[in-house]
């Protein structure tokens, strides 16, 4: 069998002090290292509000770990995480590993989109400048109206 790329996202309850979070992170990492998993990326996703209460808790600290592992080890990792009382919820998904070529393509697409947005913004600004330049103040309009009404050229 071949190793696959996975992402583990787990939630630490807000009832646990933030000073204890590094120890919880280490315990999760230990579970992964016991199963000979190669961790490729870790992210602290911050504190977020839940859509509904989980164990009477409304907020949680989200953590994400990407790793490479054999598919049969995921079952044992899941069982070990279920026994960890400090992890409120977790989810392991199989993730497609992004190659260097795909990263370059995504970067090009992002720059192309940014250029397109900049051009449309410039076009909108030009339109606004043109409309503001053609706008005549109300006072000027009133003066012209008064001049026209006062002139005798209206009725011949």
Distances (CA, A) of 63 to 7, 13, 75, 152: 10, 11, 20, 82
The CB-side HSE value for 111 (13 A sphere, CA atoms) comes to: 5
pLDDT for 64 equals 93
Which residues share a beta bridge with 5?
A: 68
- Phi, psi of 130, rounded to the nearest 5 degrees: -65, -45
pLDDT for 141 equals 81
pTM for the model stands at 0.60
Overall average pLDDT of the 129-144 stretch: 74
């Amino acid at each position: 069998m071949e190793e696959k790329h996975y992402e583990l996202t787990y939630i630490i309850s807000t009832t646990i002090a933030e000073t204890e979070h590094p120890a919880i992170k280490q315990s999760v990492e230990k579970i992964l290292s016991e199963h000979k998993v190669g961790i490729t990326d870790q992210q602290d996703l911050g504190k977020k509000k839940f859509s509904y209460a989980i164990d009477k808790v409304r907020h949680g600290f989200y953590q994400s770990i990407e790793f490479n592992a054999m598919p049969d080890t995921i079952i044992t990792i899941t069982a070990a995480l279920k026994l960890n009382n400090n992890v409120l919820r977790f989810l392991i998904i199989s993730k497609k590993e992004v190659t260097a070529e795909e990263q370059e393509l995504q970067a090009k697409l992002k720059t192309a989109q940014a250029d397109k947005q900049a051009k449309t913004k410039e076009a909108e600004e030009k339109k606004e400048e043109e409309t503001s330049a053609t706008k005549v103040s109300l006072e000027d309009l009133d003066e012209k109206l008064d001049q026209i009404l006062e002139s005798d050229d209206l009725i011949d």
